[in-house]
Structure formats: C-alpha cells, structure tokens
Structure 1
Amino acid sequence: MRPKIDGILETAVYVDDMDAAHAFYSEILGLKRMVAGDRLYAYDAGPAQALLVFHRGHTGADVATAGGVVPGHDTTGHSHFAFRVSAGQLEPWRRFLAGAGVEVISEVVWPAGGTSLYFNDPDGNVLELATAPLWPNFLS
C-alpha cells in the first residue's frame, strides 16, 4: 500500500537579486522571513507551508550540514507558484497590488468557478493568487 502524502511543505523560486526578492516577498506580499542566508531565504507562507527563495547560481553544489547532505539544485528561467486566497480577498489584492506598482498581467476565471490573478516578482517569476474552486481538491 502506498503511504499517504499530507500536502506540499515547501515550494521554491530562484532569483538573481536577493534584496529585491526580500523587499517584494516581505513588503508587498507580507510574508515573514524565517531564515536568511547567503543562498536561501525561507518565508512563512501559511500553516505548515514555506516559500524558499534561492539565490540563482548559488545552490548547485551539495551542502553538508550536521544532519546530512542537502543535494544541490538550481534552475534557469522563470518559475511559477500560486498562493491560495479567499474570494473576498481578490478585490483588496487587486487594489493593493496596483497601489504598490505591481501589474496584474492576467486574470483567469476557471470553469470550476475559481479566479486567479497573475503577476510577476522582480525576477519575472509568475505568481498567482487563486480562489476556490480551482482544482477538485481546492475547496474554500
């Protein structure tokens, strides 16, 4: 029997400018930074969820820790991830992003009824604010 997966604990994005990324993720999106290092910032993205912001080009080598080796990883190009928000928060987010100078590049109303707002971080990564129902397992 296959063991159960409880959900996604963390997701990652790779950036070139860690200071600009921190300003965006902390000041614009309001995420609290939990870890700050030369190659990684980790943000509280909700209960038992973390957003890892890696310094592109600085994470390819393995990293030895007291607890074991963290395998190297890196990427090129833009990535994507979505934050879950309630439907009642879409309009406040539209206004807030506009006031912060962050352009909503696309808005999608999904067949199941959810809505997504898409915008970019300073490195061009595509971020999404999504409401339920978007996926069959995404209920409000």
Structure 2
Amino acid sequence: MSSELEGILETALYASDLEAAEAFYGDVLGLDVVIRQEGRHVFFRCGTGILLIFDPAATIQPTPAGALPFPPHGATGPGHACFRVSRDKMDSVLARLEAAGVAIEADFHWPNGARSIYFRDPAGNSLECAEPRLWNLE
C-alpha cells in the first residue's frame, strides 16, 4: 500500500516557558522564528519544515468564538523530535551545543553506521540530531 503523504510539514513540542524555548531554538540551535504569539506559541523554520513550540496551558483551551478553528491540543511530559544533520556537520552541531553548556545525553553510532546525538531543551523535551542514513534517507 502506498501513501499520499509526502513528508512531515510541521512537528510540535510543548514548553511552558516560551522565552526560554525561543532563546534555545533560536540562539543555541540557530533556527529562525517564523511566527510568535505571546503566551501561546513560537514557530521556527527548520529546513523545509516548521517546528512548532506551544505553551500547553494555552493550546489545551477551547478555541474562542470567531478564531481560526484549531482543535485544543497539548501534551504532558517530555516529547521527542529528531533533526536531520549531515555527517559533515554533526561535529559542528555538537561543538555548538557544548559551547552553549547543553548536556549531551548520548552520542553514538547505530548498527547501520548512522550517528545520533541526544540532548534536552529547557522544557525537558528529548532532542536528537541524526544523520539521514539512520532511516536510509540519503
């Protein structure tokens, strides 16, 4: 069976401190802010996709009358996202994280030879940078 789905357009994580999230994803990871709504969300461009960071206390609320018809959503506990990083840029990403004082939880090679590094954002979300070959995507 084939799918009409072409890829992931956006990924959502949740953080109650949006200022800390914006500083981390913008300053530490170098992502550009696309949209920000005070107290609700900050969205970043990441390659050809968008990373959405929502305040879960705001997004769990029902949509006000007359607003865009977004269904309430949210999550509790740490989420996970994996960023695609080419082999030749992995060491510079690692150096950037270490220079910012970000603790690296794991740095290893998978059985297929792909490398992954794991770390956390200020909200405790588990983040990974991995080579595309992890999923045979190169």
Which residue matches 2:29? 29
Q: How does 1:39-54 map to 2 (within 5 A)?
A: 39-47=40-48, 49-54=49-54
1:63 Cα deviation from its structure 2 partner: 2.4
Distance 1:70 1:88, change over 3 A: same
Partner of 2:8 in structure 1? 8
Distance 1:124 1:118 in 2: 12
Structure 1 unpaired stretches of 5+: none
1:66/1:4 CA distance change after superposition, 3 Å: farther
TM-score (norm 1): 0.90
Q: Using the alignment, how far apart are the partners of 1:39 and 1:110 within structure 2?
A: 37
Identity, % of aligned positions? 37
Offset at 1:65?
Answer: 8.1
Structure richer in helix, relative to its length: 2
TM-score by length of 2: 0.91
Residue 20 of structure 1 corresponds to which residue in structure 2? 20
Higher share of residues assigned strand: 1
* CA shift digits 1:10-54 (9 cap, x unpaired): 00100011100000000000111111003111100112x000000
**Pairing 1:79-90 to 2, within 5 Å after superposition:** 79-90=79-90
Matched position secondary structure for 1:101: coil
Equivalent residues, number: 137
> Which sections of structure 2, spanning at least 5 residues, go unmatched?
none
Report deviation, 1:2: 6.3
